Amino acid sequence: MPLYRQQHLQAISQQFQIYGQILHAEPCKIGHINETYTATYDQGGISVRYIHQKINRAVFQNPAAVMDNVVRVTSHLRKKLETTGARQITRRALTVVPTRDGKSYYCDGNGDFWRTYVFVERVQSFESVQSTAQAYEAGRAFGEFQALLADLPGERLHETIPHFHDTRMRFAALKKAIQEDSHDRAQFAKPEIEFALAQEPWIGTLLDAHARGDIPERITHNDTKFNNVMLDWETGRAVCVVDLDTVMPGLVHYDFGDMVRTTTSPTLEDETDLSKVQMQMPMFKELARGYIDATRNFLTPAEKQYLAFSGRLITFTIGIRFLTDYLMGDTYFRVHRPHHNLDRCRTQFKLVRSIMEQEEAMQKYVDSL
């Protein structure tokens, strides 16, 4: 780390209620949005670690609202865990370290917003699911997260990214990008454009169900990638759910659908060999079993009947976001090669087709749980 950056981070660290001398800090590769550091302190001869994080204001334009959500959610999680007699609560729910003046964040002289968490020790995360046992833990972890927050008191949480999972809005943006074709790229994506436009009849299914009152609004995580689940080093059990910036009002299907997208296919989301991309039923079954085990006390029959479909919808939604960004010149998602976003889109659309082929069997299994 450059010396100037280390000195700045030391100055930031002194703004929080951490007692002891900072020994060193290093960049942490958790996530791609915020700037994150792991800092080690000497507290009475014992090394203790914390996470210092600068919130990305380009993505989260109201950091104070983000932190209001985070504090309410983490406080409620700890209270619920305490009432059940849970042990190691600081490993089960993130702990926000307040500033010296009692706030949840510190705004520096550059206008940047910083926050600090207690580091969760003896855990690990994975970019992709390695086994059906991990698929079960993913489903259980995010299901338990929803269940613990089902009775969060007080006013509605802030929408930290409005319309984040509004497929109709994403579809409208795609059609606009196709029409404008500002970078003359539509010629390279004709099959993908044709496939995307053909799916329009069903993209509003969940929004319509919610509008009719069939499925309720819940508090959801909205970014249920497997690397946001911390697993215990020794047991492999899910310990803690992290990356809470997108926790806000939503439908349970947003979380479950993204879990289907990110845990049931053996490939990364930019796989170029599409023959490898498929929805694996054994992974889906364990994912669904873990999720239902954790949510059966609050999940309604109507919510349950859309679970398999949600995998199709969320995967398609991410696919059209990649396609839109490709047509607009790669302005949102970071790319590392030519046509990278088009490759990502193709991978998502192949997974959508695989889900559609197996969707009836997937839902039949969910109904059996």
Q: Are residues 174 and 74 in the same domain?
A: no
Q: Are residues 110 and 138 in the same domain?
A: no
Give the residue from 66, 94, 121 where a domain finishes: 121
Give percent of the chain with pLDDT exceeding 90.
89
Asked whether residue 276 is domain-assigned, the answer is: yes
Question: Would you say residue 21 has pLDDT above 80?
Answer: yes
Q: Are residues 262 and 181 in the same domain?
A: yes
Q: Are residues 63 and 84 in the same domain?
A: yes
Which pLDDT score is estimated for 34?
A: 86
List, for residues 149-187, the tens digit of each pLDDT value: 999 999 999 999 999 999 999 999 999 999 999 999 999
Q: Are residues 178 and 223 in the same domain?
A: yes
CB neighbours of residue 319 within 10 Å: 27
Q: Are residues 329 and 245 in the same domain?
A: yes
- Residue 180 and residue 182: Cα distance in Å, rounded? 5
List, for residues 200-256, the tens digit of each pLDDT value: 999 999 999 999 999 999 999 999 999 999 999 999 999 999 999 999 999 999 999
Give the residue from 86, 121, 156 where a domain finishes: 121
Asked whether residue 127 is domain-assigned, the answer is: no
CB neighbours of residue 199 within 10 Å: 18
H/E segment holding residue 113? strand 113-118
Question: Would you say residue 114 has pLDDT above 80?
Answer: yes
Q: What is the CATH number of the domain that holds 19?
A: 3.30.200.20
Question: Would you say residue 9 has pLDDT above 90?
Answer: no
Q: Are residues 32 and 145 in the same domain?
A: no
- Residue 206 and residue 341: Cα distance in Å, rounded? 26
Residue 17: helix, strand or coil by DSSP? coil
pTM of this prediction?
0.93
* Interaxial angle between packed helices 167-180 and 307-327, expressed in degrees from 0 to 180 and rounded to the nearest 10: 30
**DSSP states of 276-328:** G----HHHHHHHHHHHHHHHTTT--HHHHTTHHHHHHHHHHHHHHHHHHHHHT
Q: Which residue has the tokens 């060999």?
A: 273
The mean pLDDT value for 127-133 works out to 92
Asked whether residue 295 is domain-assigned, the answer is: yes
Asked whether residue 271 is domain-assigned, the answer is: yes
The mean pLDDT value for 345-357 works out to 98
Question: Would you say residue 31 has pLDDT above 70?
Answer: no
| Tokens encoding 355 | 């889900």
Asked whether residue 152 is domain-assigned, the answer is: yes
Asked whether residue 232 is domain-assigned, the answer is: yes
H/E segment holding residue 350? helix 340-368
Beta bridge partners of residue 229, listed in sequence order: 241
Give the residue from 77, 97, 121 where a domain finishes: 121
Q: Are residues 266 and 347 in the same domain?
A: yes
Asked whether residue 270 is domain-assigned, the answer is: yes
> Which residues lie closer than 8 Å to 324 by C-beta, 6 or more apart?
170, 173, 174, 177
Residue 184 burial (10 A CB sphere; 0-12, 13-18, 19+): exposed
Which pLDDT score is estimated for 1?
A: 59
Do the Cβ atoms of 110 and 263 come closer than 8 Å?
A: no
DSSP secondary structure letter of residue 44 = T
Q: Are residues 55 and 177 in the same domain?
A: no
List, for residues 307-337, the tens digit of each pLDDT value: 999 999 999 999 999 999 999 999 988 899 9
Domain that holds residue 91: 3-121
Q: Are residues 260 and 309 in the same domain?
A: yes
Q: Are residues 25 and 99 in the same domain?
A: yes
Q: Are residues 103 and 225 in the same domain?
A: no
Do the Cβ atoms of 304 and 366 come closer than 8 Å?
A: yes
- 71 φ, ψ to 5°? -65, -45
Number of domains in the chain: 2
Q: pLDDT category, 344, cuts 50, 70, 90?
A: very high
Asked whether residue 126 is domain-assigned, the answer is: no
